[in-house]
């Protein structure tokens, strides 16, 4: 172990791994005896199981073509001796070690918490986790920690224990857990709420209270239970920093919370910050926000513990030095992974990829048998006579996926585009066997019913693939669709899930076999970090006892793939460098929140950045001076006579609204123009103002659709667009010329922003006017998920715009804009806002309920659930042909809708009672 962390009496897993090798039996291609059955009182009894290959014999394919057979190759004989060894490596260390139990007194965790962990399957921990937790100063919160462990190696548990212990033992302190994606925030939120159920904070006795709390806390009645709150874009939570003990946040929300706490002098309430996926520091779009957070916390030198973790760090020690933290490196995986390269219908161990390329480059492409004879593959995939499988890569993908599914296991297939996901899912489903039993078919029909009941309706591709146990998952789908599909795969309802690489980092879904269909995601080759993320989904503890990854490679990419397989993880670098995001936002936030003001304090702040760890101080100070001067030139800062810097009113407004300096200046100009002439006899001007800048960055405009929307505007809408700077003549020119926007000069960039926002504002207007999401997607030829993301992003952006106006003392404009925020959140006209608060009642559902006998919240609260079912069926009318195909599904669908109706009535009753209580108290 490195000197970065004492091992507390344990051998580290890194040391163990260096001495130990794991041999894993491949799941495909291994010779096994055929499955046999013996009669027993008229019933068949399975005597011997061969999970993947025997299932092929017993499950009859029902699609248009057969998946190709995978059989042993010449290279398989070399591995026979190793194959006799166990499938999964045992955890290093003795399972009888008392320190491997979370209930051990050394960890100091309350029995209720350890019982909750045990109930969720965590009753023992790994030696590396114990070694890490018991390092000096970590459990007490005195030291920071940076650590890395493979995906599936249990790294989250270490952070969970440190975070929960800090909150439980310090009842006045709060915790922030930072995750990069909304899906991860939502997943972690559910996990933590289950973990802290019935767990109480350690409150002092009444007679100790006066001396144990800070003076400003003594008057407060402390709550024993632990409140866990999610803060992310699109969240409807009304909870604030004061209302939570553990805040689970996206990067942007976490940075905003910390800024507010610093400005309001309540940062002392913060006890621990956990940064999951610490490698995001290197992300060109959001990494600088993570660096800003850490830099501010380091400068404060408060009693705030920082815990950072990732599966893909290469320079862990350097990052630990930056944070002044202990560091720990674990290479242990409870379920080892076998990695393979698939090339020209042959399967090779990934470790031989370099030899494979060197040999292949010397041979002609026409003589594939020569390659096989030179480097014998472990397994071979038969070529297919089907036209759909004539491509070797597609043939291999289908064969590997179907073999996994017929064995009763889950396969994750990664491909490079959203469209590719749907095409490959459809292709795989055609070779999948029929459902094994009626129960399996029933669960898939239930899934179809749930998808059909969504406001966006059922995707026609999913309609055909789900029955065969195949689904797809990508960002073009709605959140509800993705959640249902992911849950179905996790529960085994779906056997094969085809996804874009965003799933690898965004959702925790393990697989027995991961199949990467090509090394390109989009046009770019995947990086080593993303490849590791995808491969890490194979073989998860508690789900499988083995894991395999297959990277399918085409000839044009073979050299690049070999380089990729050999590549080291890239070092994490600062995103505050001038060629990236720069120091401007970092300095503006620190000065505006009152963290620093004088030149020496600002220098100390810069010394706390990761940037200063990678550059000479003189160069870092030079960059700092240039950034400060730019902020002064842009009138965001002023240099006072005492040589201290101060944020202007505009600078304060930008920071309070969580905008970057560049975005804030653009918004300022837009709002100043609105102050001179705001079109209030229509709503298009407001929708334009609330259109998020991040939603329009780089977005293509369909100029014909733009012109069609212009043609449908009334005089008010046209006037609003003219005030904004949109010229109908320019739109006509773009339609006729077929040209794209020029974005070379600052003026052209500004113009492009205006036109993109105006085009997106049409979509936002349709959302708020109750146009169904699927209709909007068709109208603008964009994925439904894109429309939904726009609706979610606009909430936070609208709040930022209102706050900006308030900070600028533009009270009247703030009031006008604030009035429209409720409509945006509900996606409904003003007359439906009350009903749109109800669970499951979106705008279109609210309108149908209103038009069919339930005109208000009270009527909904007094309704009989069975009376709502026919109306809910009207939200997504069922097709006669589908009812004929699956007559039992109609019954299941009705049952689902009745359960939903019961939830709607219960929610409406609760809201109605709350409103009545408020009226009584008034």
DSSP character for 175? E
Tokens of 695: 């939603």
Beta bridge partners of 175: 246, 272
Residue 693: CB partners within 8 Å, gap ≥ 6? Answer: 663, 666, 667, 753, 757, 797
Closest of 341, 375, 376, 373 to residue 358, by C-alpha? 375
Rounded-to-integer distance, Cα 383 and Cα 370, Å:
17
Specify whether the CB–CB gap between 522 and 486 falls below 8 A: no
Instruction: Work out how many domains the chain is built from and give that number.
Output: 5
Q: Which of 182-186, 452-456, 517-521 has the lowest mean pLDDT?
A: 452-456
DSSP for residue 527: P
CA distances from 40 to 49, 55, 131 (A): 17, 21, 53
- Kindly tell me if the per-residue pLDDT of 423 is higher than 90: yes
Assess contact for 695 and 663: CB atoms under 8 A: no
- Do 344 and 317 share a structural domain? no
Q: Rounded CA gap, 701 and 707, in Å?
A: 11
List the structure tokens of 627: 């950034």
Residue 35 lies in a domain: no
Dihedral-angle region of residue 454 (phi above 0 means left; psi in -120 to 50 means alpha; beta otherwise): beta
Residue 779: CATH number of its domain: 1.10.3380.20
301 and 346 part of one domain: no
State yes or no: pLDDT of 35 exceeds 50.
no
Whether 848 is in a domain gets the answer yes
Does the structure show a pLDDT above 50 at 812? yes
| Angstrom distance (rounded) from CA 848 to CA 491 | 34
* Mean pLDDT, rounded, for 144-168: 93
Domain boundary among 800, 827, 854: 827
847 and 795 together in one domain: no
Rounded to an integer, what distance in angstroms lies between the CA atom of residue 814 and that of residue 803?
8
- Determine how β-strand 513-517 pairs with β-strand 547-553: parallel
Question: Over the Cα atoms of the chain, what is R_g?
Answer: 30
Q: How far apart are CA 58 and CA 112, in angstroms?
A: 47
What's the pLDDT band for 921 if we cut at 50, 70, 90? low
> What per-residue confidence (pLDDT) applies to 826?
57
pLDDT in the model for residue 661: 94
Question: CB under 8 Å to 437, separation ≥6 — which residues?
Answer: none
What pLDDT, on a 0 to 100 scale, did the predictor assign at position 22? 33
Angstrom distance (rounded) from CA 67 to CA 61: 9
Mean pLDDT of the chain: 81
595 and 533 within one domain: no
Q: Do the domain assignments include residue 749?
A: yes
Checking if the pLDDT of 34 tops 60, the result is no
- pLDDT tens digits, one per residue of 313-353: 888 899 999 999 999 999 888 888 888 988 888 898 887 77
As to burial, measured by CB atoms within 10 angstroms (0-12 exposed, 13-18 middle, 19+ buried), residue 259 is: buried
169 and 290 together in one domain: yes
Q: Determine, yes or no, domain membership for 837.
A: no
pLDDT in tens, 372-409: 667 788 889 999 888 889 899 999 999 999 999 998 88
* Res 821: pLDDT: 67
Alpha-carbon gap, residue 447 to 147, rounded angstroms: 39
Residues 260 and 145 in one domain: yes
Residue 869 above 90 pLDDT? no
Pair 772, 701 in one domain = yes
Rounded to the nearest 5°, which phi and psi values hold at 641?
-65, -30
Domain boundary among 621, 647, 673: 647
Model pTM score: 0.79
Q: Is 114 inside any structural domain? A: yes
Whether residues 325 and 341 fall in one domain: no
Is 607 in the same domain as 733? no
Q: What's 141's domain CATH number?
A: 3.40.50.300
* Distance from C-alpha of 402 to C-alpha of 411, rounded to nearest angstrom: 9
- Residue 307 maps to a domain: yes
- The residue among 79 and 136 whose pLDDT is bigger is 136
> What pLDDT is attached to residue 437?
80
Looking at the structure, do residues 642 and 703 belong to the same domain, yes or no?
no
Checking if the pLDDT of 78 tops 80, the result is no
Q: Is residue 789 part of a domain?
A: yes
Token pair of 584, please?
């401007």
Residue 47 has pLDDT above 50, yes or no: no
Cβ–Cβ < 8 Å for 326, 135: yes
- Residues 526, 417 share a domain: yes
Residue where one domain finishes, among candidates 793, 827, 861: 827
CA 207 from centroid of its chain's CA atoms: 46
Share of the chain above pLDDT 70, in %: 82
- What tokens does 577 get? 């460098």
How large is the average pLDDT for residues 247-255? Answer: 93
State both tokens at 699: 């977005």
What pLDDT is attached to residue 532? 84
- Any domain includes 653: no
Residue 622, domain extent: 584-647
Do 718 and 817 share a domain, yes or no? yes
């Amino acid at each position: 172990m490195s000197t970065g962390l004492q091992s507390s009496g344990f051998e580290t897993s890194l040391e163990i791994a260096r001495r130990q090798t794991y041999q894993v039996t491949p799941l495909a291609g291994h010779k096994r005896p055929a499955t046999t059955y013996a009669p027993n009182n008229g019933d068949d009894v399975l005597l011997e199981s061969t999970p993947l290959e025997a299932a092929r014999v017993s499950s009859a394919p029902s699609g248009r073509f057969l998946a190709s057979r995978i059989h042993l190759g010449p290279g398989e004989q070399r591995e026979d001796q190793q194959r006799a060894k166990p499938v999964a490596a045992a955890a290093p260390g003795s399972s009888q070690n008392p320190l491997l139990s979370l209930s051990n007194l050394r960890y100091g965790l309350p029995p209720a918490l350890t019982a909750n962990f045990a109930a969720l399957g965590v009753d023992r921990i790994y030696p590396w986790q114990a070694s890490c937790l018991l390092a000096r100063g970590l459990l007490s919160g005195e030291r920071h920690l940076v650590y890395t462990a493979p995906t599936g190696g249990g790294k989250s548990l270490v952070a969970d224990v440190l975070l929960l212990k800090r909150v439980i033992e310090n009842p006045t302190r709060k915790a922030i857990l930072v995750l990069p994606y909304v899906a991860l925030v939502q997943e972690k939120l559910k996990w933590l709420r289950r973990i802290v159920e019935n767990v109480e904070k350690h409150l002092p006795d009444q007679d100790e209270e006066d001396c144990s709390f800070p003076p400003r806390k003594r008057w407060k009645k402390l709550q024993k239970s632990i409140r866990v709150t999610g803060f992310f874009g699109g969240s409807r939570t009304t909870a604030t920093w004061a209302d939570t003990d553990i805040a689970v946040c996206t990067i942007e929300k976490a940075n905003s919370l910390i800024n507010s706490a610093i400005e309001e002098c309540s940062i002392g309430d913060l006890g621990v910050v956990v940064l999951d996926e610490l490698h995001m520091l290197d992300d060109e779009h959001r990494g600088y926000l993570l660096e800003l957070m850490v830099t501010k916390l380091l400068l404060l030198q408060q009693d705030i513990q920082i815990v950072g973790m990732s599966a893909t760090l290469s320079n862990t020690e350097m990052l630990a030095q930056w944070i002044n933290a202990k560091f720990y490196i674990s290479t242990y995986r409870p379920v080892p992974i076998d990695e393979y390269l698939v090339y020209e219908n042959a399967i090779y161990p990934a470790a031989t990829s370099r030899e494979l390329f060197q040999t292949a480059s010397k041979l002609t492409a026409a003589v594939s048998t020569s390659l096989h004879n030179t480097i014998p593959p472990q397994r071979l995939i038969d070529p297919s006579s089907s036209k759909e499988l004539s491509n070797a890569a597609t043939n291999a993908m289908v064969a590997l996926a179907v073999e996994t599914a017929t064995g009763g296991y889950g396969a994750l297939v990664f491909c490079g585009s959203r469209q590719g996901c749907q095409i490959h899912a459809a292709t795989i489903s055609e070779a999948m066997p029929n459902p094994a039993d009626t129960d399996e078919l029933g669960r898939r029909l239930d899934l179809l019913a749930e998808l059909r009941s969504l406001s966006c309706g059922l995707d026609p591709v999913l309609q055909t693939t789900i029955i065969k146990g195949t689904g797809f998952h990508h960002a073009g789908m709605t959140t509800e669709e993705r959640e249902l599909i992911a849950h179905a795969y996790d529960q085994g309802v779906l056997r094969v899930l085809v996804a874009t690489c965003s799933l690898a980092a965004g959702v925790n879904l393990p697989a027995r076999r991961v199949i990467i269909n090509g090394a390109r995601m989009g046009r770019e080759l995947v990086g080593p970090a993303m490849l590791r993320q995808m491969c890490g989904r194979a073989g998860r503890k508690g789900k499988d006892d083995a894991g395999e990854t297959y990277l399918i490679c085409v000839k044009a990419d073979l050299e690049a793939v070999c380089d990729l397989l050999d590549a080291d993880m890239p070092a994490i670098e600062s995103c505050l460098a001038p060629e990236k995001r720069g120091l401007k936002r970092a300095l503006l936030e620190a000065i505006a929140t009152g963290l620093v003001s004088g030149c020496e304090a600002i220098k100390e702040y810069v010394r706390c950045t990761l940037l200063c760890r990678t550059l000479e101080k003189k160069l870092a100070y030079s960059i700092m001076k240039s950034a400060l001067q730019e902020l002064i030139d842009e009138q965001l800062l002023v240099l006072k006579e005492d040589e201290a810097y101060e944020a202007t009113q505009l600078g304060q407004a930008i920071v309070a609204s969580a905008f970057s300096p560049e975005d804030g200046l653009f918004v300022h100009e837009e709002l100043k123009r609105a102050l001179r002439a705001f079109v209030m006899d229509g709503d298009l001007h407001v929708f334009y103002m609330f259109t998020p800048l991040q939603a329009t960055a780089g977005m293509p405009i369909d100029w014909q659709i733009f012109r069609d929307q212009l043609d449908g505007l009334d005089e008010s809408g046209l006037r609003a667009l003219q005030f904004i700077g949109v010229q109908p003549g320019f739109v006509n020119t773009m339609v006729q010329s077929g040209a794209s926007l020029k974005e070379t000069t600052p003026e052209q960039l500004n113009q492009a922003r205006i036109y993109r926002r105006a085009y997106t504002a049409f979509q936002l207007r349709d959302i708020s006017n109750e146009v169904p999401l699927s209709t909007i997607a068709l109208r603008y030829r964009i994925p439904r998920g894109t429309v939904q993301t726009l609706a979610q992003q606009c909430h936070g952006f609208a709040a930022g715009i209102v706050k900006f106006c308030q900070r600028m003392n533009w009270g009247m404009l703030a009031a006008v804009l604030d009035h429209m925020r409720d409509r945006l959140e509900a996606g409904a006209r003003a007359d439906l806002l009350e009903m749109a608060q109800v669970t499951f009642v979106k705008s279109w559902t609210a309108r149908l309920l209103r038009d069919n006998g339930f005109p208000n919240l009270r009527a909904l609260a007094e309704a009989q659930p069975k009376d709502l079912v026919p109306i809910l069926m009207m939200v997504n009318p069922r097709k006669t042909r589908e009812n004929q195909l699956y007559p039992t599904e109609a019954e299941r669908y009705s049952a689902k809708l009745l359960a939903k109706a019961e939830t709607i009535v219960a929610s409406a009753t609760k809201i109605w009672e709350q409103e009545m209580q408020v009226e009584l108290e008034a």
